[in-house]
Amino acid sequence: MAWYSSGSTNEELVENLWRSNLITTPLTKSAFLKVDRANYAPSDPYADSPQPIGHGATISAPHMHAQAVETLLPFLLPKEGQEEEKAAARSGSSVPNVVGQAGRPRRVLDIGSGSGYLTHVLAELVGDTGVVVGLEHIPALRDLGERNMAKSREGRALLDSGRVRFRVGDGRKGWSEASPGAAQPGVGGEAAPSAAEERGDKKEEAGGWDAIHVGAAAAELHDELVRQLRSPGRMFIPVEAEDGWDQYIWIVDKDEQGNVRKEKSVGVRYVPLTDAPK
C-alpha cells in the first residue's frame, strides 16, 4: 500500500491518500493539506512510509496517520464542525456524526508525539477552543515536536496560544492537565483531584480526553488510559498481541453512560511503548 500513496509534494501525497481511500472525509483532507510533513520528517517527507526521527523513534507512515485521524474524527470536531458536516452532506460527501457535548472544548491527548506531526494535524481539527497535548517520555523528542511545529506560522500560533502543549511523561499513565491558563501538574500526570474527581462520579469530566491517540505499541490496553477517556470518548491504540509478535489497533469507545467497548482492528507495526531510556 505504501508506495501507491507517496507523492513528490504534500498536496500530491494527500491527494494520493484520498484517491486510495485512506483519507475519506473532506475535513481530514483539509487538515492534512494544512500541515506540511516536510516540517516533521527529516527524510522523504512525502513517502507513504515511516521515517526515522532519532532516539529509536519514527514518524509514522501517512496512511497510519490518516487512519488514526479518520477513526478519531467524530471526537475531534468542535461544534462548528457540525455546520461543516451539514455542508459536506449537502455536497454529497460523507462525514461521520459529530458526537460529544455541544459547545464543550475538545481535549485531545497524543501519546508518543515524536515528530509532532500528528499533534499538529489533530490541532487543526479541534478548532479554536480545543486543546491538544503531545506527550513524550524522551525530553529531546518533546523538544523536537515543539521545534518542528514552530517552523510554520500556523504551528507557532498554536504553541503561543497554548492550544498545543508538548509535555514529558510516561504515556502508559496518561496525562492530567487542565485547560488553558492552568498550571502544569506534577511529573507522571499526578494532578490534584478536581472537585468533580473528588465527588467520585463523572471522574474525568473536568479533565479527561475526548480522544486519545497512542503512537507506540502498548503491552496491554492500559486501564488508566481508558479511565481518562471522557464520556463519550474514543482511544486509538496499537496493542501487542499475546504472542508478543503481532500488533493490532484497538479502538476503545466510552459511551455517554460510561460503558466501555473495545474493538480489535487492523494488524500494524509500531515501535513499542516502553520505559524511558536511562
Active site residue 231: no
Helices and strands (H, E) in the chain, number of each type? 10, 9
Catalytic residue from among 5, 6, 20, 60: 60
Q: Cell 503512537 belongs to which residue?
A: 215
Report yes or no: 115 and 142 within 8 Å, Cβ to Cβ: no
CA–CA separation, 101 and 239 (whole Å): 29
- The residue from 115, 176, 228, 231 that contacts ligand SAH (CB under 6 A) is 115
Closest to 149 measured CA to CA, from 166, 127, 135, 128? 166
Q: Which stretch binds ligand SAH (CB under 6 A): 26-34, 80-88, 131-139, 177-185?
A: 131-139
Give the total of residues touching ligand SAH (CB under 6 A): 24
**H helices of 91-208, where?**
117-126, 139-149, 153-161, 195-199
Query: Which of 228, 240, 235, 223 has the alpha carbon at shortest distance from 274?
Result: 240
Interface positions, 208-237, toward ligand SAH (CB under 6 A): 215-216
Q: Is 174 in the site for ligand SAH (CB under 6 A)?
A: no
Among 137, 163, 165, 254, binds ligand SAH (CB under 6 A): 137
- Based on C-alpha coordinates, what's the Rg of the chain? 18
- Record the cell numbers describing residue 209, joined without a space: 480526553
Using the rule CB under 6 A, give the single segment among 8-16, 21-29, 57-65, 249-257 that binds ligand SAH: 57-65
Q: Residue 170 interacts with ligand SAH (CB under 6 A)? A: yes
Which of 36, 85, 136, 197 is close enough to bind ligand SAH by CB under 6 A?
Answer: 136
**Of the listed pieces 4-12, 109-117, 183-191, 250-258, which binds ligand SAH according to CB under 6 A?**
109-117
Nearer to ligand SAH, 23 or 141 (CB): 141
Among 135, 211, 235, 239, binds ligand SAH (CB under 6 A): 135
Residue window 245-274: x/- pattern of binding to ligand SAH, with contact defined by CB under 6 A: --------------------------x-xx
- 220 contacts 239 by C-beta, under 8 angstroms: yes
Using DSSP bridges, classify how beta strands 209-214 and 247-254 pair: parallel, antiparallel or unpaired: unpaired
Other CB atoms closer than 10 Å to residue 15's CB: what's the count? Answer: 17
- Residue choice 76, 77, 132, 141 for contact with ligand SAH (CB under 6 A): 141
Sign of CA dihedral 247, 118, 110, 112: positive
- The residues that touch ligand SAH, with contacts defined as CB under 6 A, are 57-60, 111-115, 117-118, 135-138, 141, 170-172, 215-216, 271, 273-274
> Would you please indicate which residues are annotated as catalytic (active-site) residues?
60
